[in-house]
A = this chain, B = another copy of it.
Amino acid sequence: MSIRYLTARIAQNIDQELMGTTGAFSLDQLMELAGLACAQTLATVYKRETHPRVLVCCGPGNQGGDGLVAARHLGMFGYNPTIWMPKPGSKEIFQRLKAQCENMRIPIIAPSTETAPLRDALARSDVVLDAIFGFSFKPPVRAPFDSALSLITESKLPIVSVDIPSGWDVENGNEAGVGLEPDVLISLTAPKEGAKNFKGRHFLGGRFVTKAMAEKFDLHLPEYPGFEQIVELTSVGQKL
């Protein structure tokens, strides 16, 4: 049986179950493991010797939180991350995750209505971690993220996208053509329908789904190697 690609609704149901009374996970725990998986995926493909400068682009929702956690771990791994987060989420957790990055002396680009700061940051980066939109994204892409997606694409930098490439419809992919075209994708929990035809290196993270939950949602997850937090789908024959 092949791995299941999730609709936006099923992805949301799984998330609710993980954090509900049955799953009992806190957002802190899930973000920590998700962000760690994102950082490890980037570090697997882009070594710090050749790609030390990582621009971590964070959206306004929970995926922005995954990005902040990933930025901190990348700093721990010896990379030089910079954070672009023009609309930080209002939940208290974002303030804490941001403070943790500030304690690591990770530069955070000040919010601006101009495109110049992002353009400059891209010019000083080796790779982009795209944590802008997740599985709850609904088009259209609103400012300032619309121009950001164009700038990131124009930069021609390698891109690692979290869960679903930003600008893609969660179920229909990049049919509108406004989304990023990442080189690497790290799906969390299970891949989303929109990523079925993704052609780059595809990883899976989120090693916190119980067997019972995987069975309930028919996920057919691959086995993670050893005690790793990520597994490459392209190498286990799961790629469609």
Residues on A facing B (Cβ under 8 Å):
21-26, 28-29, 32-33, 36, 39-40, 43-44, 72-73, 76-77, 95-97, 99-100, 103-105, 207-208, 210-213, 224, 226-227, 229
What residues of chain B lie closer than 8 Å to A33, measured between beta carbons?
32, 36
Assembled-state Cα–Cα distance A208/B96 (Å):
14
Given known contacts A29-B32, A103-B212, A227 and B24 CB-to-CB distance under 8 angstroms = no
Evaluate contact between A210 and B104: CB separation under 8 angstroms.
yes
What residues of chain B lie closer than 8 Å to A227, measured between beta carbons?
39-40, 43-44, 73, 77
Assembled-state Cα–Cα distance A139/B57 (Å):
50
What residues of chain B lie closer than 8 Å to A22, measured between beta carbons?
103
What residues of chain B lie closer than 8 Å to A32, measured between beta carbons?
28-29, 32-33
Shortest A52–chain B CB gap in Å is 14
Evaluate contact between B207 and A76: CB separation under 8 angstroms.
yes
Given known contacts A32-B33, A212-B103, A227-B40, A26 and B77 CB-to-CB distance under 8 angstroms = no
- Pick the contact of A212: B26, B105, B207 (CB < 8 A): B105
Assembled-state Cα–Cα distance A144/B32 (Å):
34
- Closest B residue to A225 by CB, please name it: B77
Evaluate contact between A103 and B39: CB separation under 8 angstroms.
no
Shortest A34–chain B CB gap in Å is 11
Assembled-state Cα–Cα distance A76/B211 (Å):
9
What residues of chain B lie closer than 8 Å to A99, measured between beta carbons?
21, 24
Given known contacts A24-B103, A103-B23, A103-B24, A208 and B43 CB-to-CB distance under 8 angstroms = no
